[in-house]
Structure 1
Amino acid sequence: MKMALRMMLRGVVFDMDGTLTVPAIDFTSMYRAVLGDDYGRAAAGGRPVDILHEIEQWSPRRQERAYSIITEIEEEASGRLQIMPGARELCEYIDAKCIRRGLITRNVKASVDFFHSRFGLKEFNPALSREFRPYKPSAAPLLHICNMWGLSPEEVLMVGDSAKDDVVCGKTAGALTCLLDESDRYDVTTLPAEQCPDFKVKSLFEVGDLLQERFELCP
């Protein structure tokens, strides 16, 4: 899965929930609260559900109610927000190497602003929230960042904890991908090709090791 030669890297883009922050949202409960019986039927049938894409098919009034529930759950989770171990050190290392650092999340902008203010990190720039459409797993947000940076996707690494969102976003854009899998829930040998990352790590500390060992970091 890993590549033999050191590769040129000029930027790193991160997911937020479950990557830069410790997971604080019970997504199963959120899906049930928003989707109701639709989620139960989909789960029983083994059909993957993307809550944001499901909501987009609804009437404006129903969408408004759904987003209100999601926002309430996200705001409640903000009170329990913790920075992921290794995140601060990794960001400081990236900044010291003068390479770019961005963020893509399916969370709202208010949550990104809260993250920046709470932990005192130098802000990710750009930081795209779900107000940017289309959102992950579309490659559009990552390609937008690459365009803003004036970089080719091949010079950028996408880091996230979701194979179906973060890895697919990165691979579709043509970037390198790193899957953060703390609990070994993914078996990369069985993942579909579009979800199989270039690298898999168990912590953000390992991402730092990966950057040092596998890449030429070029400002």
Structure 2
Amino acid sequence: MPLNLSRAISLFHPKPISRISMANISSLTTSHPTTSPPRKRLRGVVFDMDGTLTVPVIDFAAMYKTVLGEEEYRRIKAESPSGIDILKLIENWSPEKQRKAYETIADYERQGLDRLQIMPGAAELCGFLDSKKIRRGLITRNVKDAVDLFHQRFGMTFSPALSREFHPYKPDPAPLLHICSTWQVKPDEVIMIGDSLKDDVACGKRAGAFTCLLDESGRYDSPEYANVDHKPDVKVSSLTEFYSLLERHFDLEP
């Protein structure tokens, strides 16, 4: 459906950011307290899909337990504080065991498609980015069918939109670097935003992009995530806060 850009901009009137963690924001500020921070050029925003553009509906913990078994799930989770990479774990399994694992994953994903909902504020945010001529890309570990359904159901198109059929998939930086190459922009002119430390933030940091973690519930404030390998540049609790971040720290002129 067409986006009402004036409505989008009015809905996202800048307001104070309540929960942004400025982990590495020093590059965006100056030492002089009375000088406005320099604004970095922003050429594109690359989104995760599940849990970022869409409301999280897949029970990943239940899926992992079904694939791995309860005991193995608990062991791996204890060793991987930033999250479990189920696709990588099953890469070296026997063909038959792999087949069953992929069938389980596909079943959970199909159930998620039936309940697919757009994240509040996503349509308005994308309309705002379009008004500023800022490119929009998408990287997901979900399948292409899910991306196609998202595009069709909500009337928004992201390009490039890379699913897990693109190899190597995130957290490898290759998908994001591919998008930057396609756009002919530098990675540090791009923001990667997603709800996963192990996939989205790791992909963005490895590529050299600015990273934003969407943490609606505050679960990443838990001590278990204090020593992860890749930390986001900033953290927000909603897409509305992400809009405010863009307004404050980036050059959004077309």
- For the aligned pair, the TM-score class normalised by the smaller chain equals over 0.9
Structure 1 unaligned blocks of 5 or more: none
Give 2:220's aligned residue: 186
Q: 1:83 aligns with which of 118, 123, 132?
A: 118
Equivalent pair of 1:142/1:169 in contact (CA under 8 Å): yes
Once residues 131 and 191 of structure 1 are traced to their aligned partners in structure 2, the CA distance between those partners, rounded to angstroms, is 32
Is 1:157 aligned to residue 186 of structure 2?
A: no
Once residues 197 and 38 of structure 1 are traced to their aligned partners in structure 2, the CA distance between those partners, rounded to angstroms, is 29
Give 2:68's aligned residue: 35
Give 1:128's aligned residue: 162
Aligned length: 216
CA RMSD of aligned residues (A): 1.7
Once residues 94 and 162 of structure 1 are traced to their aligned partners in structure 2, the CA distance between those partners, rounded to angstroms, is 22
Give 1:93's aligned residue: 128
Instruction: For residue 88 of structure 1, report the CA deviation from its aligned partner.
Output: 0.4
Give 1:142's aligned residue: 176
Instruction: For residue 192 of structure 1, report the CA deviation from its aligned partner.
Output: 3.7
Question: TM-score, structure 1 length as denominator?
Answer: 0.93
Query: Alpha carbons of 1:191 and 1:144: their partners in 2 closer, same or farther (altered >3 Å)?
Result: farther
Alignment of 1:1-219 (within 5 A): 1=22, 2=25, 3-4=28-29, 5-36=38-69, 37-43=71-77, 46-48=78-80, 49-121=84-156, 123-187=157-221, 191-192=226-227, 194-219=229-254
Instruction: For residue 21 of structure 1, report the CA deviation from its aligned partner.
Output: 0.6
Equivalent pair of 1:104/1:142 in contact (CA under 8 Å): yes
3-state SS of 1:195 partner: coil
Once residues 128 and 66 of structure 2 are traced to their aligned partners in structure 1, the CA distance between those partners, rounded to angstroms, is 40
Once residues 101 and 246 of structure 2 are traced to their aligned partners in structure 1, the CA distance between those partners, rounded to angstroms, is 40
Instruction: For residue 60 of structure 1, report the CA deviation from its aligned partner.
Output: 2.2
Instruction: For residue 42 of structure 1, report the CA deviation from its aligned partner.
Output: 2.6
Structure 2 unaligned blocks of 5 or more: 1-21, 30-37
Once residues 123 and 227 of structure 2 are traced to their aligned partners in structure 1, the CA distance between those partners, rounded to angstroms, is 32
